Structure 1
Amino acid sequence: MANVDQFEAETELTTERSGLLAAPSQAISKVRETIDQPGFRRAFPTLLASLTAVAAVILYISMQKPEMTTLYSSVSESEKSKIIASLQNMGIEIQVDPVTGDLLVPASVYHQARISLAAQGLPEFSGGGFDSLENMPLGISRSVEGMKLRQAQEAELGRSVAEISSIQSARVHLAIPEKSVFVRDQTPPTASVFVNFKNGRKLNQTQVVAITNLVSSSVPGLSPSNVSIIDQFGNLLSNSPDDPDQALADSQLEYRMRLENIYRNRIQSLVTPIVGSGNINAQVNLEIDFTRKEVSQEIVDPDTIAIRSEQNSLKRNCQKGCSWYSWCYFERTTPRGNC
């Protein structure tokens, strides 16, 4: 009885194994039958060509680089490093043109990149300069072209002024009148420069003159006297040609402060070796008399030689209890032949 049961079990196991082996063979036979059909043989070349074309398109798309467009072209190297780091943190692809140094991003994320950078305040000086003139359409009117050119000049001058270490940002406004065919109707151009200082920084008079000359030399026909420089506090930094007294007062104040610094440094250099460094604090206040006096006299004496012009100049520095000195300058010009 046991032998019969064992035989039946082996028979069932063999049947199951033969069924498992028969399934793949049946599938292969069905595939062969399908391939052997005349209709499939006729359609097989077309099907193979279609699959090959689809695979080629997928491979081309995967290997094709995205179209790159210029994000910024006229930024400093420090600004470029900040922009590259910011976009890489956002996962946006960015490249640097090896020839021009422009920053390139995929065209599909161009606006997203600019908006994201603007939210971070990058770049700090992003006004359109001469690079904005590259995409000007054909057929543009002369008035619009002149306006675009003026805006580009203002942006480029603002960037140049902002490169000074004491200035955080700068804006330049140009007032360039249209040329007239009549010489008498010519109006000179003018310029205004607005500067925003860094914390605790300011411009000295030499830097103000340098900015004035920079702007006036960049615009044809612009005189340095027609350039006004204003800071974020509303102070006029450039000397106004309409107020010579103010210019004189500024020069006198600068002269007094320069002398005070010279005397203070001298005092500190003399006393420091005696009391030690950091143990002295010297302050110097000078009172300088800038009074000028002009006297005109008319003397009629027919027996003396006529004097064409006479000029006297006297400088005196004197205080009670101290030594004083005086310096006189005398010039007399007489008519030729009457010396």
Structure 2
Amino acid sequence: MDNALTLNAAGIAAPDTGFASRLVALPAKSKLNLGLGMAALLAVVLSLVMWSNEGDYKVLYANLSDKDGGAIIAQLSQMNIPYRHSDGGAAILVPASKVHDARLKLASAGLPKASVGGFELMDNARFGQTQFQERLTFQRGLEGELSRSIGSLAAVESARVHLALPAQNGFFREQQKPSASVVLTLHAGRTLDNGQVAGIVHLVSSSVPDMNPKAVSVLDQTGALISSPPEAGKQAGLDAQQLQYI
């Protein structure tokens, strides 16, 4: 049986330090291995803390071409927004807290150039839904995502997006083209400049295949039309100085 007590300098019985004494008695190699193990454990803990602080990532855009993907990544790097790839590189994800701000700034820069057909991958579609139900679920989800992105503008109190999407039937699809209306409630005394309105139009039109920017109407809470068709040869876009105020 091990002795539980040792004598101190005064000759009085005192508890054995136990672990500390055994640690001192370890060979140098064992001490080194123990130190490396503690360092590795600390690195894992710090990584977990950093990951939890970073937050969840959310799809920024999906179904991107290589050209659009590269341009968007370049812009995200300039804006110091971290990103990840998914779906074989065709989807870009950013922290959930930055997704709406990033979409608006990218849209104001005219990105993506091509329609991406919605933001989110439909991984939550329910089995057994009819084609009509799937389209309705997708449309409502896209309207909600667009509304939240536009609503993140400082001047906007709330936003509602209504999409008019033609049926998938080939004949009717040729006869009708998709359109959209955006109804904004602005904070008292606040307005949107032309660049911000153009960014909203591009954000909506690029999210729906075959949607012409001219088919997107933006109205304020009084019903006044604040969007206008883009001028010939002029694309939506803001310079770097303007982007910081979005």
TM-score normalized by structure 1? 0.32
The structure with the larger Rg is 1
Q: Relative contact order (alpha carbons < 8 A, sep ≥ 6): 1 or 2 greater? A: 2
Query: What TM-score results when the alignment is normalised by the length of structure 2?
Result: 0.43
